[in-house]
Amino acid sequence: MIRAWYPPGVKTAADRLAYYAARFNTVEVDSSFYGLPTSSIARLWAHRTPPGFVFHVKAFAMLTRHGVRPEQLPPALREGYELELDRGGRIVHPPPNLRESVFALFSEALDPLREQGKLGIILMQFPPYFVANSGNRDYIKWSTRLLASDRVAVEFRHASWVEPDTLTDTLDLLHSLGISYVCVDAPRLEQPSVLPPLAAATSDVAYVRFHGRNAATWNARVSSAAERFKYLYSEEELVQWVEPIRTLQSEAQTTYVMFNNCYADYAPKNAQQMLTLLDLAAEPAALGY
């Protein structure tokens, strides 16, 4: 994506962020899923972007019940606990106090963004094996209490959360906690790991993520996230979301539309198209990738 979208002279991280921030006013940070962010990095993000720019930060993997390797944790944490590992070397059943410590480190690192009013959503993307049951509902309540000072959005990857007999309970739970349901566009597959394109606002912030519709790579072993989300939306496909997004805008105070089809220049290209379709091309809009 870097080579495909950024001009040849835009080479450094600072230059790329400045170039991006001149065209969009919000961005989704994905690197924080793979490693805990640091306050020094967050301070650079805040310093290098104009007033009003908003960062949405994806929660670190352990916070959303994904497996992580010990080396993904700071030395003090990985050396201070008896860690149980699976065959792949990932931590399983981390002690609750370890997970709480990781929540605290994650949250503390984002202080520079909070101080500048540039922290948007904490994106809690749960894995496909996080199914709709009472234990996982309790985990949502527990984890979001640890992030109570921030706005939180929850993305499910198992369709049990939005089946006819669970959808109302799911949306009511999120609404009661004041957190946002993440509306997704994904491949049209009849599989539990794919959610339907449901537009729902459960707080005063609505959040939409476009993952692309590449059915061949959705559940495949691929070399990178870019390969999984290798999909360029047609204008006709984007038009399908215009009215749902406008409905979300009428129901929420703020609506963010993010493109996660992060292959080549697909995400910024589709984001610009959506701006035009929503008649927002001439004014700041909460679209990004």
Distant-in-sequence, close-in-space partners of 282: CB < 8 Å, separation ≥ 6: none
* Residue 151, strand partner residues: 121
Distant-in-sequence, close-in-space partners of 210: CB < 8 Å, separation ≥ 6: 184, 185, 233, 241, 257, 258, 259, 260, 261, 270
HSE at residue 124, side-chain half, CA atoms within 13 A, is 27
What pLDDT was estimated at residue 122?
98
What pLDDT was estimated at residue 283?
46
Structural domains of the chain, ranges and CATH numbers in brackets: 2-288 (3.20.20.410)
Mean pLDDT by 10 residues, the chain (289 residues): 82 94 96 96 97 98 96 91 93 94 97 98 98 98 95 98 98 98 95 94 98 90 85 96 96 97 95 91 49
| DSSP label of 222 | -
* C-alpha–C-alpha distance, residues 67 and 102, integer Å: 13
Q: Is 139 exposed, middle or buried (0-12, 13-18, 19+ CB in 10 A)?
A: middle
DSSP H or E segment with residue 210: strand 205-210
For residue 264, which amino acid is it?
A: A
* Of 111, 103, 93, nearest in space to 73 by CA: 103
What pLDDT was estimated at residue 286?
56
* Residue 84, strand partner residues: 92
* C-alpha–C-alpha distance, residues 190 and 141, integer Å: 29
Judge if pTM exceeds 0.95.
no
* C-alpha–C-alpha distance, residues 111 and 185, integer Å: 31
DSSP strand E in 87-179: where?
91-92, 119-125, 151-155
Q: Which two tokens stand for residue 36?
A: 């805990």
